[in-house]
Copies of this chain bind each other. A is one copy, B any other.
Amino acid sequence: MKKLMNAPGDFVDQALDGLTLANPSLVRDGESGRVIRRAEGIRKGKVGIASGGGSGHLPLFTGYVGRGLLDTCSIGNVFEGPNVGSCMDAIRLADGGRGVLRLYGNYGGDRMNFDMAGEMLEDEIRTTTVLGNDDIASAPPEESAKRRGVAGIIYAYKIAGANAETGADLDEVTAIAAKAVASTRTIGVSLSPCQVPGSAKPTFEIADDEIEMGMGIHGEPGIWRNKLRPADEIADEMVQRLLAEAPGNAGSEVSVLVNGLGATPLEELFILYRRVAEKLGESGLRIVQPLVGNYVTSMEMAGASISLCFLDDEMKGLLAAPAECPFWRV
């Protein structure tokens, strides 16, 4: 797998340099330079939202720092959690005096480091935690707390971010973030792998005519692997799996994210979206603010994920509130 890079060890830092150079609203900060924060800093009196995760998923995570979204983001090496120092820095830099929500995906390394960071700062800053766990393919429903966080986390960013901008307190922001996560379901399908810079091999192998349903954004094994099928069949299965896990209290409005994993052309995402919209319509659901594009990637992986965020009026309003980062503007 060919990469436009210099040395593997430079990959993350040079990408962050480029990201911040091209987007002056984002600034590198923190002891290891592994925090991205808003250029204008945190507004006093606002609850802060700090996220973080491994590199290799742009625009996630760092790209969602901005007004109405994240305040700070710690970032690790490719597919590795952010180190504890960066997590501490991200929390500190997000602190406007009213506490900080730690909002990130449910992965072991990320969790350990954000936990440690919170413990180390516990005398200084009040923190809460909400973990993204939207990937329905990563654990059965009865163990949903064990599920991995994937593309659907951007709904929690948007909804909690908008809530924090209104002046809500930490408990309120935490509650709405938790509600957004609890209302979001994602499933992905992969067509081809990616490769960690410096690794001699791709994260997995897959035949020229095969796809894998339910694969994670780091290439974690999915539910089944089989021959490529027509896009409509794939969309149908994904929608059906998502709807089968709709939250008990789901209303009739839903936002949809058809997300490209990195190497899948927009044309194909729109072909999928077309069918997804049709199927949701048939199920009596009304689509609100659909998103189609590369929002959460796995470097050069080909494939797509579909996320549904079941909305109530409160979340709907927050999703529609103004927000602005380099990759998403409402």
Residue of B nearest to A17 (CB): B274
Count, chain A residues at interface, CB 8 A: 59
List B contacts of A15 (CB < 8 A).
Answer: 266-268, 270-271, 274
* A274 x B191 contact (CB < 8 A): no
Residues of B within 8 A of A318 (CB): none
Q: Nearest residue in B to A10 (C-beta to C-beta)? A: B271
A-B contact pairs, 27 of them (CB 8 A): A2-B192, A3-B268, A4-B268, A4-B303, A5-B230, A5-B231, A5-B268, A6-B271, A7-B230, A14-B231, A14-B270, A15-B270, A17-B270, A17-B274, A18-B270, A18-B273, A21-B274, A21-B290, A22-B273, A58-B265, A194-B265, A262-B263, A262-B265, A263-B263, A266-B297, A267-B299, A329-B329
Residues in B with CB closer than 8 Å to A267 are 11-12, 15, 55-56, 58, 299
Contact of A271 among B5, B192, B268 (CB under 8 A): B5
Chain B, Cβ-Cβ closest to A329: B329
| Alpha-carbon distance between A18 and B274 when the two chains are bound, in angstroms | 4
* Nearest 9 interchain pairs by C-beta: A18-B270, A263-B263, A18-B274, A58-B266, A4-B268, A15-B267, A18-B273, A265-B299, A2-B191
Q: What 1/0 flags go to A49-91 for Cβ under 8 Å of B?
A: 0000001101100010000000000000000000000000000
Contact call A4/B191, Cβ cutoff below 8 A: yes
A208-B2, A294-B294, A300-B302 known; A18 vs B232 contact (CB < 8 Å): no
